[in-house]
Structure 1
Amino acid sequence: MESSVRDLTTALGERLSLTAEEEVGVDLEVADEVDLASGHSRYCLVGKVLTRKRYNMEAMENTLAGVWRPVKGMHMRVLGQNLFAFYFFHPVDMQRVLAVGPWKFSNHVMVLQEAQNGRRVTTDDLYEVLFWVQIHGLPPDRLTTTSGKRIGEELGRLIEVDDGGGDARGGEYIRVRVAIDARKPLRRGMKLSLRSGQIWVDFRYERLPNFCYCCGMLDHVEWDCELSLDMEAQGRCRRKPDGG
């Protein structure tokens, strides 16, 4: 029924010109100022859960409110099927949530991004997941910010590089914080070309949630994977990407 009404509205809109009343606009910036003065929140994260199964959004709100514990509070609004918004009353509460992710519900990763002023959002717009990725297998002289930046830019949208600061606490790997495209399989590693030849480095994803280790996608597990039966029969299932 909803689809029929939407199709009818679209068809009418294509054939009819706007009336004089329809041409009149409303300034929502003024309304926004009123909302702020009355204490309504304007700091908003929109998101979805990477799963093909239905889930209880009310349970998710209660769970995350208990985990995030925003000082000034928050509330959630359902925008559509597998599409929601979290409203915060202080920018620091919102930024803390973004800084610590990725977050998950029922062990399924969540895609969260800050709402852009005046822009509508659909589930197709939400596809980047922030991960800290450990890069293992680099030679000692390549455990540098420059190496991390080059690899991170190839892996996704680079946010930050942690090379350990060059001291004894740095360890045998470097870390990059990257916004990864969840529409693509997780990468297990990468080939690097050096003067001495090619090497392979392994990626280990910190706080890795459920994912399919047959096809590498984040939105399902191997039990629900359409390719898993054939891949398993042929002995071609991908090994599980390492989690930190």
Structure 2
Amino acid sequence: MGDNIQIDMQNLNLGAEDPPIQLPVQVVNEAAAENRFVLIGRPVMPHRQNIRSIIAILPRNWGHKGVYGRMIEGGQFQFVFPSEESMEMVLRRGPWAFADRMLIIERWTASFNPLMLNFILFRIQIRGIPF
């Protein structure tokens, strides 16, 4: 009997071969509206940076009321902001670090690409270089 269950579990079809389902535009627009003030991020060194601590401490460091974070799949986190202004201020003041290691934080959009969480934009200024 145990062998039959194991074989049945291996042959279980959860619809992986089914064609994708097209979501109605209204559902996509509602999701985009609900997530318009969301930042998604990940630690650069997840084994050295505790995601629970990041979620607990960063909103206090930013000094914004009403910001809350949550863990999402893939070792990533998400922060939800009450307004566009507070979210933009955090993005402008970046890049951010936690436990002396960089964090990658990007704004969520309806066309968000998870590969964006592999890059950190820096601005550097070099002075005294002769022409």
Same fold, judged at TM 0.5 (above) = yes
Instruction: Output the CA distance in 2 between the equivalents of 1:17 and 1:61.
Output: 37
Equivalences for residues 1-244 of structure 1 within 5 A: 8-9=13-14, 12-14=15-17, 16=18, 25=24, 27-29=26-28, 31-32=30-31, 42-53=36-47, 55-71=49-65, 73-117=66-110, 119=111, 121-122=113-114, 124-139=115-130, 142=131
Rg: which structure is higher? Answer: 1
The secondary structure found in structure 1 opposite 2:16 is helix
Structure 1: state its 5+ residue gaps.
143-244
Contact 2:71 2:78 in 1 (8 A): yes
CA distance in 1, matches of 2:50, 2:13: 32
Q: Contact between 2:36 and 2:109, CA under 8 Å: does it hold in 1?
A: no
SS of 1:84's partner is strand
The 1:81–1:55 alpha-carbon spacing in structure 2 relative to 1, beyond 3 Å, is farther
Query: What RMSD over aligned residues (CA atoms) do the two structures have, in Å?
Result: 3.3
- Structure possessing the higher relative contact order (Cα contacts under 8 Å, 6 or more residues apart): 2
Cα separation, 2, equivalents of 1:98 and 1:25: 31
Q: Give the counterpart letter for 1:135 in structure 2.
A: I
Higher strand share: 1
Change (3 A) 1:59 1:24: closer
What TM-score do you get using the length of structure 2 for normalisation? Answer: 0.71
User: Structure 2: which 5+ residue stretches go unaligned?
Assistant: 1-8
| 1:58 shift after superposition | 2.2
Cα displacement (A) at 1:24: 7.7
State the number of aligned residues: 122
Percent identical residues:
23
1:138–1:87 Cα change, 3 Å: same
Change in Cα spacing, 1:100 to 1:81, as seen in structure 2 (3 Å) is same
Does the 8 Å contact 2:36/2:108 carry over to 1? no
CA displacement at 1:133 relative to structure 2: 1.0
Q: Matches of 2:22 and 2:31 in 1, distance apart?
A: 21
Give the direction of change, closer, same or farther, for the CA distance of 1:120–1:133 in structure 2 (3 Å limit): closer
* Residue identity in the other structure for 2:72: L
Deviations 1:117-136 (A, max 9, x none): 2x3553x3312213231214
- Judged with a 3 Å threshold, the aligned counterparts in structure 2 of structure 1 residues 96 and 56 are, in CA distance, closer, same or farther, namely same
8 Å CA contact 1:76, 1:86 repeated in 2: yes
**Separation (CA, whole Å) in 1 of partners of 2:23 and 2:121:** 42
